[in-house]
Amino acid sequence: MTDTEIKKGLAGVTVDYTAISKVNPDTNSLLYRGYPVHELAATQPFEAVAYLLWHGELPSETQLAQLRATERERRALTDDVKAAIDLLPVEAHPMDEVRTAVSVIGAADLAGIGNVMDAVGTPEENLDRSIRLFAALPAIVAYGQRRRRGQDAVAARDDLDYAANFLWMTFGEEADPVVVDAFNRSMILYAEHSFNASTFTARVIASTLSDLYSAVTGAVGALKGPLHGGANEAVLHIFDEIGSADRVTTWLDDALARKRKIMGFGHRVYKRGDSRVPTMKAALDSLVAHYDRPDVLALYDALESEFVGRKGIYPNLDYPSGPAYNLIGFDTLTFTPLFVAARITGWTAHIMEQQASNALIRPLSAYNGSDERHIEGYVPDSATA
């Protein structure tokens, strides 16, 4: 095999079909089940988009009401999950908390299923498991932030929709409709993005006929990395480092001289701009106006125009979502867990799609290690010399 046949990072390799979303970098569009994501973000509650990703169609009023009722019933932070989180050091990264919590929910739910062959579940069971995680994650993410601040958990409210309740559980007060709307949009934009690294991880695990919870746990691990979901957290670290718009040029000179990656810019698929950015930037604009923070926008615009001007590399979704979450009041460490709460919908849709027409994902590798050799030539004393 020659080097040209190996696609490092699977760049440009199409590995399977999906009917869940279509990313088109040429037209700068992203469709969920055929619907442009910006239309969904402008008109739908996140619950309806979750339904769309799982079922392929937007819900009727009755279907949406049913999903909402189930989601509200399962919102509470359960004692076992809280106890497991409390066992972790308070300094633990919240993505480690989320990964642990998903594992605990899975172990409890699958406790009666002793046979590994049965854990994979039926489509109905897996839809139920998907809704369980979708409903449980906001309380887990909210409690993580509160725990780090030395605050108690806030009980869920069943008179609020998903986005408003998420903010309620995090901050213990009802959020302004402008904030709820911006947050709802961000959840929709983060919900799904075809075969990104974490979704592909989930599909690899699902392809072994492992259970949905194991696949999601692996996906959380993949999302944690700063080249993927961790970038929204990293954007805020950069904003903190720069401080204000007038320091952008000096900071960028230094960062580029040291060949640093500028977090929140660039994308493996989009090379001329991320289709989700305009919608999230509009949500950020509404938050900047609501909180009267023009300084945030000044820094955002200055870094974007200077970096795009110098490198021709455009912002991705994490660039506007980082400062938006910061304005809402989320700790920087909570940003990637918010991505989990959104992407759980896409991950689980993909796990179910993988299982519906499964083939074990098992690629080949080209060996470039030692030629064949034999043990009689091995001398322990010289092994590490």
Catalytic positions, written as ranges: 228, 267, 318
Residue 115: CB minimum distance to ligand CMC, A: 36
- The residue (of 153 and 191) whose beta carbon lies closer to ligand CMC is 191
> If binding is defined by CB under 6 A, does position 342 make contact with ligand CMC?
no
> If binding is defined by CB under 6 A, does position 108 make contact with ligand CMC?
no
- The residue (of 106 and 229) whose beta carbon lies closer to ligand CMC is 229
- β-partners of residue 315 are 265
Q: Binding ligand CMC by CB under 6 A: which of 170, 184, 196, 355?
A: 196
% helix, strand, coil for the chain, step of 5: 60, 5, 35
**Contact between 252 and 303 (Cβ < 8 Å):** yes
> If binding is defined by CB under 6 A, does position 262 make contact with ligand CMC?
yes
- The residue (of 259 and 373) whose beta carbon lies closer to ligand CMC is 259
- The residue (of 218 and 266) whose beta carbon lies closer to ligand CMC is 266
Read off the tokens for 58. 């937007």
Which 117-176 residues touch ligand CMC, going by CB under 6 A? none
> If binding is defined by CB under 6 A, does position 93 make contact with ligand CMC?
no
Q: Which residue has the tokens 């300094």?
A: 91
Residue nearest to ligand CMC as judged by C-beta position? 266
> If binding is defined by CB under 6 A, does position 280 make contact with ligand CMC?
no
Q: Binding ligand CMC by CB under 6 A: which of 102, 204, 317, 328?
A: 317
| Rounded Cα distance, 69 and 61, in Å | 12
- CB-CB neighbours of 363 under 10 Å: 8
Burial class (CB within 10 angstroms; exposed 0-12, middle 13-18, buried 19+) of 149: exposed
DSSP string spanning 113-143? ---TTTTT--HHHHHHHHHHHHHHHHHHHHH
Provide the total of helices (H) and of strands (E) in the chain, helices listed first. Answer: 16, 3
Q: Specify the stretch interacting with ligand CMC by CB under 6 A; choose among 44-52, 77-85, 130-138, 309-317.
A: 309-317
Q: Which residues bind ligand CMC (CB under 6 A)?
A: 196, 227-229, 231, 261-268, 313, 316-318
